[in-house]
Amino acid sequence: MIELPKNITPSPSVLNELKAFQESIDKLNTFSERSAKAKELFPKKNTKSNATFKEVKKKLTEMCNSTRRCVYCEDSLGDEVEHIYPKDLFPEKCFDWGNYVYACGPCNGPKNNKFAVFKQEDGSFAVVNPPKGQPSTQPPTGKAALINPRTEDPLQFAILDLSGTFKFFPLPSLSANEKKKMEYSYNEVLRLNHEEREPLRQARENAFGMYKARIAEYVHKKKNNAPLSLLEKLKDGILKESHPTVWKEIQRYYRMGLLVKVDEELKQYFDEAPEALTW
């Protein structure tokens, strides 16, 4: 799961149009009416010919660093405008620009309307989506128990094990609620470690080797005084690869002094090109 840049916003006119769509939901009296309206209205507006959503998709693409990988799995093409807060549980966020990401079908489909909160009244964890086939009811007030890649850095919750499993684990420093949030997000909702999604784990392992090969090439060219334009191109290639979390984790392992234990050669490449630690 990737942390998305926070400085990308559609034009004020597009934001106003989203607001107008939203008002037609918010003006309804009951939760069930608002929930039904959100479900009905969103697919009508989110079409190829709708100018507002054309701009929304353009801005979501910019967020994905031009290769448009799914924000959750970082592997497939992100081709669905996905609501982080499901629209039938949170109809007040149906046309909220801050609630959108680009995701792929295999992530978005099973995620569906899964959501949980830590209830305001006692801090307890509560799944708020209804059992399958039953209508949504208004969720209790509370903080989201699902990591939000628009506002949070998933790597503040998870560590990717680069030493062999290429699975995500909770960071050891987390509080009990943060650990629950990590496990709910990675394992229950997105299933990024699940055996059904083994190809994703393999792709992360493969990405590790690919990043190593790319940084090796960069270091080699740098030593041979390659022109700056070529070095920039190699840097760009790294930043446009899939599974950017693997790259971010390699950098963090280096900073924590752990990379030498995983791959001494790769550690040396960063010694020779420390600028790559900030990419």
| Shortest separation between residue 71's beta carbon and Zn ion, angstroms | 8
For Zn ion, the closer of residues 2 and 89 by Cβ is: 2
Task: Fill in the amino acid letter for 190.
Answer: L
Q: Which is nearer to Zn ion, 65 or 268 (CB)?
A: 65
Closer Cβ to Zn ion, 25 or 73, answer by number: 73
Q: How far is it, in rounded angstroms, from Cα 128 to Cα 260?
A: 44
Q: Report the C-alpha gap between 90 and 42 in whole angstroms.
A: 13
Which one-letter amino acid corresponds to residue 197? R
Structure tokens at 86: 């499901």
- Least Å distance, CB 2 to Zn ion, is 10
Distances (CA, A) of 144 to 25, 125, 130, 192, 229: 22, 9, 16, 19, 44
Burial of 72 (0-12, 13-18, 19+ CB in 10 A): buried
Nearest-approach distance from CB 244 to Zn ion, in angstroms: 13
Q: How far is the CB of 149 from Zn ion (least distance, A)?
A: 12
Contact present, 154 and 147 (Cβ < 8 Å): yes
Shortest distance in whole angstroms from residue 72 CB to Zn ion: 5
Which is nearer to Zn ion, 76 or 245 (by Cβ)? 76
Between the alpha carbon of residue 49 and those of residues 39, 43, 53, the distances in Å are 19, 12, 8
Q: Residue 34 or residue 69: which is nearer to Zn ion going by CB? A: 69
* Chain residues that interact with Zn ion, rule: CB under 5 A: 70, 72-73, 76, 104, 107
Q: Tell me the C-alpha to C-alpha distance, in Å, between residue 198 and each of 2, 205, 236.
A: 19, 11, 28
Nearer to Zn ion, 34 or 111 (CB): 111
Q: Give min distance, CB of 84 to Zn ion, in A.
A: 14
